[in-house]
Amino acid sequence: FHPSVRPIPLELHVQGFNITHNASRIAAMSKPVYNAVTKFSPHKLVIVRSRKLHRLTGRKSRRCFNALRGRTPTELVLPRREGGHKPLLDRMTDKTLKETLSQGVAYIH
């Protein structure tokens, strides 16, 4: 749907990168993505173009966000449960998702 016909207003921020090599593009995107997320709102969805890039992007984003904030990884935002988030993470089979999700960065593809 076009943003003007949505019942809840939608604001888009699109930023492109003119780098054809995937790994180089991801490396170049880390800081600009962090800056855009912190400028517009702390809770944003970052979309990548392929399944191959989603894991790399998740890892790079987590590392960049934590390094640029100068502090330890953020706590996973999930409903509080007895015993913390460990039981939820223990059920996950994807090693990369488990690693990034435990630090507050998730991906889906």
Q: Tell me the pLDDT tens digit for each residue of 35-71.
A: 777 787 766 666 666 666 766 776 777 676 666 565 5
Number of residues that this document lists for the chain: 109
> Quick one: pLDDT at residue 76?
41
The residues, ordered by sequence, that sit 6+ positions from 32 with a Cβ below 8 Å of its Cβ are 15, 17
Rg (CA), the chain: 16
More reliable by pLDDT, 99 or 107: 99
Backbone angles phi, psi at 24, to 5 degrees: -65, -40
CA distance 107 to 96: 10
DSSP secondary structure letter of residue 74 = P
| 75 band by pLDDT with thresholds 50, 70 and 90 | very low
> Does the pLDDT value for residue 95 go beyond 50?
yes
Token pair for residue 103?
């630090």
Q: Record the pTM.
A: 0.46
